[in-house]
């Protein structure tokens, strides 16, 4: 799935769209997506100028966006103006290694369960096959 298709599923736009490509998506199961981390990202100006690293919260957000695509594909739905997909919880978040400009994040998200409209996922981010971040995420769809 290229960026044009991603834009049909996520309402996010620059500078907050954090998924560049989807490599695979098995609705109801899992997704593998990419985020290319470039030096011109707006957060690098202040985080940290002498040693720029991607903020952990944005790595988690990228994983949540990948989860959003997976959920919408599972529901056979696309983003619209009547509802929004909210990120509602993070458990067991761990940051193993810093992510720097030039890295390519591989975002791996698996559906664990869906109960009463709340989806729970196992999420991992890797760089060159090495785990950099992992967490359990929760999201839900609500009318606006």
Active site residues: 47
Give the chain's end-to-end CA distance (angstroms, integer): 27
Cα separation, 21 vs 106, in Å, equals 10
Cα separation, 16 vs 22, in Å, equals 17
Selection from 89, 130, 135 nearest residue 106 by Cα: 130
Cα separation, 47 vs 139, in Å, equals 27
DSSP tag of 42: G
- Tally Cβ neighbours within 10 Å of residue 57: 12
């Amino acid at each position: 799935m290229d960026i044009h298709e991603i834009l049909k599923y996520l309402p996010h736009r620059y500078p907050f769209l954090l998924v560049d490509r989807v490599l695979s998506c098995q609705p109801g199961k899992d997704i593998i997506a990419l985020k290319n981390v470039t030096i011109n990202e707006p957060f690098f100006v202040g985080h940290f100028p002498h040693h720029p690293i991607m903020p952990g919260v944005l790595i988690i957000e990228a994983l949540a966006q990948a989860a959003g695509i997976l959920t919408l594909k599972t529901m056979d739905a696309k983003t619209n103006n009547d509802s929004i997909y909210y990120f509602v919880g993070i458990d067991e978040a761990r940051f193993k290694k810093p992510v720097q400009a030039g890295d390519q994040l591989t975002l791996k998200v698996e559906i664990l369960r869906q109960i009463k409209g709340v989806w729970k996922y196992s999420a991992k981010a890797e760089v060159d096959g090495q785990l950099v971040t992992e967490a359990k995420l929760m999201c839900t769809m609500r009318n606006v």
